[in-house]
Amino acid sequence: GENVEQHPSTLSVQEGDSAVIKCTYSDSASNYFPWYKQELGKRPQLIIDIRSNVGEKKDQRIAVTLNKTAKHFSLHITETQPEDSAVYFCAATNQAGTALIFGKGTTLSVSS
Amino acid sequence: EADIYQTPRYLVIGTGKKITLECSQTMGHDKMYWYQQDPGMELHLIHYSYGVNSTEKGDLSSESTVSRIRTEHFPLTLESARPSHTSQYLCASSEYKGWRDEAFFGQGTRLTVV
């Protein structure tokens, strides 16, 4: 089945710096790659997603890049702010497209 | 308001008891999921369903069962609770809209088995 690896598991940055989180997936048939943000005590929420025929997508301070050949995708957060502190999860669909498989999560801490 | 609801929010139960965690969604989504998550940790897929009368096991063997008799309802049952089942259980639902398959999560049930 699909396997999603996510790195790093923790990331600490200073406010205003950029943060990059990377994920790799195993199933070449996967075609949808969302990123979720989970604040402390809250439920995960979608922040950005990309489909397999697109290489890059940007939404204000966040962007996602996808390299289908290498089977990896990344989340980029620029000009980080303390409110960006949360756990971020990447995900990919399984081969049948019937379920989302999540990475292990990255705890991002932004200090002011 | 369309949402996904889980009950109970918190549950403390003795070892060996049978429990059912409830999950209902009013968004009309075909797909529903159960994930197990320790605080701030990995989301483990334990069961999913892509429609009425369909259920599939995820990667994590959790010794639980699910049913999907109605589109909006996806309960999770533990036949005999053990301390190793202590965790948070998140229910989610999703449906393809165009190319997007956004999952919406419930508030979670925090289960403690003593």
pLDDT per residue as tens digits for the range A81-94: 999 999 999 999 87
Q: Where does the pLDDT of residue A43 fall: very low under 50, low under 70, confident under 90, or very high at 90 and above?
A: very high
pLDDT on residue A96: 76
Which residues lie below 8 Å from residue B61, measured CB to CB, with a gap of 6+?
none
Residues of chain B found within 8 Å of residue A99, distances taken between Cβ atoms: 31, 33, 45, 48, 50, 56, 58
Region A37-42 average pLDDT: 94
Q: Where does the pLDDT of residue A44 fall: very low under 50, low under 70, confident under 90, or very high at 90 and above?
A: very high
pLDDT on residue B61: 64
Taken in order A93, A50, A41, B68, the sign of the CA dihedral is negative
In this structure, are residues B108 and B11 in contact, taking their beta carbons and an 8 Å threshold?
no
Please tell me if residue B100 touches chain A, with a CB cutoff of 8 Å: yes
Q: What is the mean pLDDT of chain A?
A: 94
Please tell me if residue A70 touches chain B, with a CB cutoff of 8 Å: no
What share of chain B has pLDDT > 70, as a percent? Answer: 98
Q: Tell me the residue ranges of DSSP E strands in chain B.
A: 4-7, 10-13, 19-25, 31-37, 44-49, 56-57, 64-66, 76-78, 87-94, 103-105, 109-113
Q: Where does the pLDDT of residue B60 fall: very low under 50, low under 70, confident under 90, or very high at 90 and above?
A: confident
d(CA B76, CA A91): 23
Q: Which residue of A has its CA nearest to B32?
A: A99
Q: Which residue of A has its CA nearest to B57?
A: A99
